[in-house]
Structure 1
């Protein structure tokens, strides 16, 4: 899949490209930034005693890549016409993975404002959905691919034990603002930062809520530097993404001094420039929690 269609050329517009794919009769989406290529199915080498959602491995231009069966991972029926299925070669968390889906249809360009956060009533306690997009005749669901992979291999998630390499930590009264749409990751990030000595954290689940909170503080005559000493934000979030949030803050004279660290699975060598364009002070790829803490220390100690 080529990226010269203009979808990836802009930063901080609060828009994204979504590759629509199908599993059974259901419509799903994946951020086009995560998609490297769409492939036709090819022979898979099975791995003994692997996770049941992992079909095996394939070779792509000399590189061995695991294949994840999305239908199995979601508890759906297998493809009725496997010869027509598609492989989505994806990269995030600095890892390449192939997702086996049933169809790939088109790319949509939409605003994060159009994406609704799944309601707790129907999303369950352990959801694999990060957003709901209302289409003309149905709905498209944005999958939490990081969670799909973490359910298969928990070692890909953040591990507070990694902080041991930083040695003994003192408790800090510096206040951190955390913006992360995944409730699981919000809790894990808060727990991990507590282990690192940062126990003063305020959490929001999307950029819009965080930005509105900062504006409310300004309206109350508060100085942001006294309220928060650093902001950590994800990129992919309903209503307002992390790039747009960063851009708004850095363009506001009353907010611009607030250091911002983008902590996302989308930090790659090819895409790092997007965070630089909007003014991020640092960018760290999930789940590199030790590097995140080192950048926090660098900016506020």
Structure 2
């Protein structure tokens, strides 16, 4: 089972081609769920579990793995389904999100699926679990696969801090951000809310698109009116993983359009590591930020303002 991700490094070429690979698994029932392979470190049988006093109801305990203490989260219970009991033969998926490592207790792992982002759709409005999903897709036999909004799950267990340090906010250069416009692109409502809460402290005007394709159409529509996009937008802040069109492809499309090519684009993602930095250079992003670090986000805005001043 641990070998299911052995070839993950060879898959990095898929990103930037508007493709992804997802790991399919089940929780407490027959429904298939998925996570992006690039956020998964390994899949293994649950090691010895240590239960902690006063832990969150959805945290089964902690494990010690390769020198790290890692919380084990009952993913089924966390998204409102029947909780899964942690047993010796239980399966866990060890993941890295937002520079933190955690393991998710699951029922069973199915397989890895390779697909195009344009076959991935937002969850239908009114769906019972929609608020814990970022997207859905289907297998060849039309069986539904639900892609979980892990950022929301983690935010409910360990709330993110969105406050910017007072010392940073006192920088007089940041006053030049007041009233400037930015475009935020993210399919996770949690991700958008975090960005809003932080950037509101700079009195920025924010536009939102929930995937790369919507963002591109919004930018093109503004450009069609004859607006100077570099004057209108201070920057575009985009997630990497999104239905329809990912942030890498969005950036590449922006660079292809002579009306948009000089926009300042920052990749803001829960993916991390040298792989992302390499992709930033490949598609032409101006910056990379791991979620969610309010001071670093504001430092990026400050650096953009400083660039405009020079």
Structures share fold, TM-score greater than 0.5:
yes
For the Cα contact (< 8 Å) 1:267–1:283, is it kept in 2? no
Partner residue in 2 for 1:206: 211
For the Cα contact (< 8 Å) 2:77–2:84, is it kept in 1? no
Q: 1:266 aligns with which of 271, 274, 279?
A: 271
Q: How far apart are the structure 2 equivalents of 1:123 and 1:230? A: 35
Tell me, what secondary structure is at the counterpart of 1:122? Answer: coil
Partner residue in 2 for 1:167: 169
For the Cα contact (< 8 Å) 1:11–1:277, is it kept in 2? no
Q: How far apart are the structure 1 equivalents of 2:164 and 2:178? A: 19
Q: How far apart are the structure 1 equivalents of 2:103 and 2:18? A: 27
Please say which of residues 161-170 and 85-94 is displaced more in the overlay. Answer: 161-170
How far has the Cα of 1:257 moved from its partner?
0.7
Q: 1:69 aligns with which of 74, 88, 99?
A: 74
How far has the Cα of 1:61 moved from its partner?
1.3
For normalisation by structure 2, the TM-score amounts to 0.88
Q: How far apart are the structure 2 equivalents of 1:282 and 1:243? A: 12
Partner residue in 2 for 1:177: 183
Determine whether 1:276 maps to 2:281: yes
After superposition, the CA RMSD in angstroms is: 2.1
For the Cα contact (< 8 Å) 2:73–2:102, is it kept in 1? yes
Q: How far apart are the structure 2 equivalents of 1:193 and 1:78? A: 37
Q: 1:12 aligns with which of 16, 24, 30?
A: 16
Which runs of no fewer than 5 residues in structure 1 stay unpaired?
none
For the Cα contact (< 8 Å) 2:60–2:86, is it kept in 1? no
Q: How far apart are the structure 2 equivalents of 1:140 and 1:75? A: 17
Query: Structure 1: which 4+ aligned runs deviate by more than 6 Å?
Result: none
Alignment CA distance shift 1:123-1:206 (3 Å): farther
How far has the Cα of 1:48 moved from its partner?
0.9
Q: 1:194 aligns with which of 182, 191, 200?
A: 200
Q: How far apart are the structure 1 equivalents of 2:291 and 2:86? A: 36
For the Cα contact (< 8 Å) 2:86–2:105, is it kept in 1? no
Determine whether 1:35 maps to 2:37: no
Partner residue in 1 for 2:225: 220
Q: How far apart are the structure 2 equivalents of 1:11 and 1:182? A: 19
Which runs of no fewer than 5 residues in structure 2 stay unpaired?
none
How far has the Cα of 1:92 moved from its partner?
1.3
Partner residue in 2 for 1:231: 236
Q: How many residues align?
A: 296
Q: How far apart are the structure 2 equivalents of 1:270 and 1:187? A: 26
For the Cα contact (< 8 Å) 1:178–1:203, is it kept in 2? yes
Alignment CA distance shift 1:40-1:152 (3 Å): same
CA deviation vs aligned residue, 1:194-225 (integer Å, no higher than 9, x gap): 21232x22111111011011222333333221
Tell me, what secondary structure is at the counterpart of 1:25? Answer: coil
Partner residue in 1 for 2:131: 127
Q: 1:241 aligns with which of 238, 246, 258?
A: 246
For the Cα contact (< 8 Å) 2:8–2:37, is it kept in 1? no
How far has the Cα of 1:228 moved from its partner?
1.4
Tell me, what secondary structure is at the counterpart of 2:7? Answer: coil
Q: How far apart are the structure 2 equivalents of 1:81 and 1:65? A: 15
How far has the Cα of 1:163 moved from its partner?
3.6
Tell me, what secondary structure is at the counterpart of 2:38? Answer: helix
Tell me, what secondary structure is at the counterpart of 2:180? Answer: strand
